[in-house]
Chain A
């Protein structure tokens, strides 16, 4: 079966750095996406990786290793507004997104 694993919840301190991991087992791979979802709101796109390596976008970076079935999202200089759930999703061989359950990130002052 297809499976996306990410931690259920993480806590970090304002101003610090946090890394959210995602491992996947899917039928085929056509890219990995990270989305942010604030409570009660819709998911919004953060990043896309299709080749191995690090993609940096401001305070957020995303890393992919296809051979290990592994990705992480790195958030730097954490702000209170970064408190949200972070969703990892893999596009499979049918170009459909398979979603993880999400990691709830709690930022403390």
Chain B
């Protein structure tokens, strides 16, 4: 692994289903983030974690949950997917809150 990986690359999901997007980094970064990117809008922060064991809500947290059991992994869970959650999801990490963020390749999610 080099940098940040995300899985799956893409997914089509029926509304109401539960889905977990995976994110793993090998840079030993303290901070990790989940964003969604929609056409015509800037990246919007869903949840973040400044260090392992802590998480916080971003701009658009409703319908999503996260956990940070260790430094490397930061999964994002949609408990019951809705069509408005159709988006491209990016995971990112940074050494600290003052540093630039490095992004994973993204997960393209379609909820029907």
- A interface list, Cβ under 8 A from B: 4, 30-31, 33, 41-45, 48, 87, 89, 91, 95-102
Determine how close the nearest CB of chain B comes to the CB of A47; give it in whole angstroms. 9
Chain A CB count within 10 A is highest, among B40, B42, B101, B103, for B42
Select one of A31, A42, A48, A102 contacting B90, CB under 8 A: A42
Closest to B41 in A: A101
Within 8 A of A (CB), among B26-67: 40-45, 48, 58
- B interface list, Cβ under 8 A from A: 40-45, 48, 58, 90, 97-98, 100-106
Closest to A2 in B: B59
**Residues from chain B with Cβ under 8 Å of A96 in the complex:** 45, 48, 58
Determine how close the nearest CB of chain A comes to the CB of B35; give it in whole angstroms. 8
Inter-chain contact B44/A45, CB cutoff 8 Å = no
Per the bound structure, the CA–CA distance linking A33 and B94 in Å amounts to 13
Inter-chain contact B44/A99, CB cutoff 8 Å = yes
Per the bound structure, the CA–CA distance linking A63 and B25 in Å amounts to 31
Between-chain CB contacts (< 8 Å), 16 pairs: A4-B42, A41-B105, A41-B106, A42-B104, A42-B106, A44-B103, A45-B102, A48-B100, A89-B43, A91-B97, A96-B45, A96-B48, A96-B58, A97-B45, A98-B42, A99-B44
Chain A CB count within 10 A is highest, among B43, B97, B101, for B43
Inter-chain contact A31/B98, CB cutoff 8 Å = yes
**Residues from chain B with Cβ under 8 Å of A31 in the complex:** 98
**Residues from chain A with Cβ under 8 Å of B40 in the complex:** 101
**Residues from chain B with Cβ under 8 Å of A101 in the complex:** 40-42
Per the bound structure, the CA–CA distance linking A85 and B45 in Å amounts to 19
Given known contacts A101-B42, A102-B42, what 18 new A-B pairs fall within 8 Å (CB)?
Answer: A33-B100, A41-B105, A42-B90, A42-B104, A42-B105, A42-B106, A43-B43, A43-B90, A43-B103, A45-B100, A48-B100, A89-B42, A89-B43, A95-B97, A96-B45, A97-B45, A99-B43, A101-B41
